[in-house]
Amino acid sequence: MLLGIGDDLFDIRWRHKVLIPAIAAMPMLIVYFVDFGVTQMVVPIPLRPYLGELFDLGALGADGM
C-alpha cells in the first residue's frame, strides 16, 4: 500500500519499485533468522524444476549480516 501511495505521489521508476520491497523484507528475514534460524524461501511452482522446492538465501539473508 505504501509503495502504491509513494508511486502516485513521487512517480517512482520501475527499477526502484523492484528494490523497495526486497529491502523492506530484510527486517522480517532477520527476525525469522534470529527467532527460528530459518533463511529459506518457498520457490514458486514454475521455478521448482530449476531451484527445487526450497531456496536457502544463506549469505543473502540474515546469515551474512
Q: How far is CA 7 from CA 15, 19, 40, in A?
A: 12, 13, 30
> Who wins on pLDDT, 55 or 65?
55
pTM of the model: 0.45
Q: What is the pLDDT of residue 59?
A: 59
Percent of all residues in the chain with a pLDDT value above 90, rounded to a whole number: 8
Q: Which tens digit of pLDDT belongs to each residue from 23-50?
A: 888 887 777 777 777 778 888 899 999 9
DSSP 23: H
Residue 16 in grid coordinates: 526502484
Question: What are the boundaries of each domain within the chain?
Answer: 25-65
Q: Parallel, antiparallel, or unpaired: how do β-strands 40-42 and 54-56 relate?
A: antiparallel
- Mean pLDDT over residues 51-59, rounded? 80
Q: Is 32 exposed, middle or buried (0-12, 13-18, 19+ CB in 10 A)?
A: middle
Q: How many CB atoms lie within 10 A of CB 38?
A: 14
